Amino acid sequence: MANPSILILAGDGIGPEVMEEVKKIIRWLDARRGIAFDLGEDLVGGCSYDAHGTPLTDAAMARAQEADAVLLGAVGGPKYDALDFSVKPERGLLRLRKEMDLFANLRPAQCFDALADFSSLKRDVVAGLDIMIVRELTSGVYFGEPRGIFTEGNERVGINTQRYTEGEIARVARSAFDLARKRGNRVCSMEKANVMESGVLWRQVVQEVHDREYPDVELSHMYADAGAMQLTRWPKQFDVIVTDNLFGDLLSDLAAMLTGSLGMLPSASLGAPMANGRPKALYEPVHGSAPDIAGQGKANPIACILSFAMALRYSFDLGDEASRIERAVEKVLADGLRTADLMGPEGGTPVSTGAMGDAIIAAMDASL
């Protein structure tokens, strides 16, 4: 039987550095656990534009479609700010999401105890936090038509269209309910049904899917602005939050800072099952390309490493190995190891990107 395949798209800025630490773990799994993957690599984002004049080539897109999972580092940087919108580095990522039909974006927000004081909120509010935001990723206002900047009379008008079909809402709702069954069995759906017809439909369809297919899961509804307030008031009231593309973008970034650092947060983007039963999937850290620290060994690789752990869990049914990685991360943080983004007033042992990866592997060794 062929090994499962992974396409690595390290991207720009710190992307290649943090991805190198993931490769160390992939090699460790092969050597110490007998778990092998067939790895491929290609370009995405600014580096692809530099090489090919496009943020994602058709060949790279085809390889992503064929892979069992795609691991992405980061894209973009000030170097590319003046490019036409159609060839900006981020368009490569958007193309991957759209053409792979990755409709469910999973954004966990977990606060490790060793980092509870890094949050801007009080320790008792965030310590032990473990929530999951499920964001619809391929429709809504970011993709709706008509869109653009037009001239009406003597002034310009910017138009974006919020559009959802019943089927698009139902499938992301099912993803949220399925996840909840494996967690705390609670889903909160967030929209703006008080002022948006798309929000009214969203609430109706989520409720219908629940009543018809998931009556065992506790479901609540909340307006998205109230949800933002509640996330900063008492985030531990939530288990799984499901919401649309725009609100999910905003709420997941808000939830990210509850944990203290964007350098800690992974994500998964999942689509429909392929012929082998695995979902189409792309895994990436939440943080950006951070070109100001690229090549200096300052980047935190943990978000990228935890994104790979999500791949093990959701694409390859290797939940035990995913948990081994997560426990190793928790151990090194409890031991006081800190990359630059995690250095706070209480101190800690400063380590480089590579040293953090090595420490996590050492902790995995100790777990055997």
Mean pLDDT to the nearest integer, 234-249: 97
- Looking at residue 270, its pLDDT comes to 95
- Looking at residue 236, its pLDDT comes to 95
Same domain, residue pair 174 and 80: no
Looking at residue 248, its amino acid is: G
Mean pLDDT to the nearest integer, 115-123: 85
**With contact defined as beta carbons under 8 Å apart, do 328 and 306 qualify?**
no
Same domain, residue pair 214 and 282: no
- Looking at residue 285, its pLDDT comes to 94
Residues labelled catalytic: 142, 192, 225, 249, 253
What lies within 8 Å, CB to CB, of 124 at 6+ separation is: none
Answer whether residue 2 shows pLDDT above 90: no
Provide the mean pLDDT of the chain: 94
Structural domain boundaries, residue 13: 1-107+265-368
- Looking at residue 342, its pLDDT comes to 87
- What are the pLDDT digits (tens) for 65-118? 999 999 999 999 999 999 998 999 999 998 999 899 999 999 999 988 888 888
Same domain, residue pair 150 and 254: yes
Of 236, 258, 280, the residue that ends a domain is: 258
Of 237, 258, 279, the residue that ends a domain is: 258
Same domain, residue pair 164 and 253: yes
Answer whether residue 178 shows pLDDT above 80: yes
What CATH code is carried by the domain that includes residue 326? Answer: 3.40.718.10
Backbone angles phi, psi at 76, to 5 degrees: 105, 180
- Looking at residue 117, its pLDDT comes to 83
* High-pLDDT (> 90) share of the chain, %: 84
Structural domain contains residue 322:
yes
Same domain, residue pair 169 and 279: no
Same domain, residue pair 177 and 284: no
Same domain, residue pair 249 and 269: no
The closest alpha carbon to 319, from 35, 17, 100, 19, belongs to 35
**With contact defined as beta carbons under 8 Å apart, do 301 and 17 qualify?**
yes
Answer whether residue 133 shows pLDDT above 90: yes
Structural domain contains residue 122:
no
> What token pair was written down for 329?
């991360």
CA 129-224-279 angle, to 5 degrees, is: 65
Distance, CA of 247 to CA of 86 (rounded, Å): 24
Distance, CA of 337 to CA of 342 (rounded, Å): 9
- Looking at residue 276, its pLDDT comes to 87
Distance, CA of 286 to CA of 251 (rounded, Å): 13
Classify the C-alpha dihedral 349-350-354-357 as positive or negative: positive
- What are the pLDDT digits (tens) for 327-344? 999 999 999 999 998 887
Same domain, residue pair 40 and 91: yes
Answer whether residue 17 shows pLDDT above 90: yes
- What are the pLDDT digits (tens) for 278-308? 899 999 998 999 999 999 999 999 999 999 9
- Looking at residue 250, its pLDDT comes to 94
Structural domain contains residue 353:
yes
Structural domain contains residue 228:
yes
Answer whether residue 253 shows pLDDT above 90: no
Answer whether residue 210 shows pLDDT above 80: yes
- Looking at residue 310, its pLDDT comes to 96
The closest alpha carbon to 111, from 127, 125, 122, belongs to 127
Structural domain contains residue 114:
no
- Looking at residue 179, its pLDDT comes to 93
- Looking at residue 113, its pLDDT comes to 85
Give, as one character, the DSSP assignment of residue 231: H
- Looking at residue 1, its pLDDT comes to 73
Give the model's confidence band at 120: pLDDT under 50 very low, under 70 low, under 90 confident, else very high. Answer: confident
- Looking at residue 127, its pLDDT comes to 87
Of 212, 234, 258, the residue that ends a domain is: 258
Distance, CA of 343 to CA of 310 (rounded, Å): 26
Distance, CA of 33 to CA of 28 (rounded, Å): 7
* High-pLDDT (> 70) share of the chain, %: 100
Structural domain contains residue 244:
yes
- pTM, two decimals, is 0.90
Same domain, residue pair 221 and 288: no
Cis peptide before 235 (omega within 30 of 0): no
> What token pair was written down for 74?
């980061």
What is the count of structural domains for the chain? 2
- For the chain, the residue count is 368
- Looking at residue 145, its pLDDT comes to 95
> What token pair was written down for 149?
């900047």
Structural domain contains residue 217:
yes
Tracing tokens 């990436």 back to the chain, one arrives at: 284
Structural domain contains residue 75:
yes
